[in-house]
Amino acid sequence: MSTVNAAGTEQLYQALGLSRELETKKDNSLQLEDFLELMVTELTHQDPFKPMENSELASQISQFATVSGIDELNSSFSGFADSMISDQALKATNIVGRNVLVPVNTGNLEAGGSINGVVGVSEPASDVTVRISDASGALIREIQLGTQSKGEVNFSWDGLDESGEAVAPGQYKVEASAKVDGETVAPYTLLEARVNSVSIGGAGQGLTVNLAGLGPVSFDSVAEIR
């Protein structure tokens, strides 16, 4: 049964020859107690030659209870979701100031620092290589990791180019390649970044972690906390 508002209820009372006025609810909707009282009144004043069928009465009560139950269930789930987000946000604040591994292909090089990460291969591979490029796409450095078994291998770039000169701080693109059975493949890369803060999204949105020099990424995308 759909929600019956106060105005519709008053009209029904007038049709029954009653002068009683319903108290206006804060949410302007008919509550279960009001519905039952109205139903009793209707039965009292019904035409004895055309009485309401018992099945019809039971159906209306059942429909009202179902709608009321769904509303309460929705409220309960909403409260549960809010509680889960708050709990997750509390846990997420513990990683502020720590480093995490995230699936991005751009790393932030700070002055005197390095860009660290891992390369993952799904099966044994040879000639595993990490390439560092600047914003224009120019190759800055190649890091040879050789032959690797299935799994992940760590790498680190010290901020030096091929000639051993330090490059300017900023963002650099990181890509990996490898050979499996003679075919060139692109292993996945995870780069390390420091968490500056955590943000709580609006309704239907999750948490985001704000990474130093890189900006926000989804909290769910964090692969490892270091």
Q: Which residues, 6 or more positions from 48, have their beta carbon under 8 angstroms from its beta carbon?
A: none
The predicted-structure confidence for 20-36, as pLDDT tens digits, reads as follows 444 444 454 556 566 66
Q: Report the alpha-carbon distance of residue 109 to residue 159 in Å, rounded.
A: 7
Query: Could you give the CA distance from residue 192 to residue 157 in angstroms, rounded to a whole number?
Result: 11
Name the one residue in this structure whose structure tokens are 């059975």: 181
Beta bridge pairs of residue 191: 102, 117
Residue 220 has pLDDT above 70, yes or no: yes
Element (H, E) at 93: none
Confidence of residue 96 (pLDDT cuts 50, 70, 90): confident
Where do we find the tokens 């100031």? 97
Q: In this model, does residue 4 exceed pLDDT 60?
A: no
Mean pLDDT of all residues belonging to the chain: 77
What distance, in Å, lies between the first and last C-alpha atoms of the chain? Answer: 55
Distance CA 33, CA 24 (A): 13
**Domains of the chain with bracketed CATH:** 6-90 (no CATH), 96-225 (2.60.40.4070)
In angstroms, the CA 35 to CA 38 distance is 5
Amino acid residing at 99 = N
Residue with the bigger pLDDT between 16 and 100: it is 100
- 65 has a pLDDT exceeding 80: no
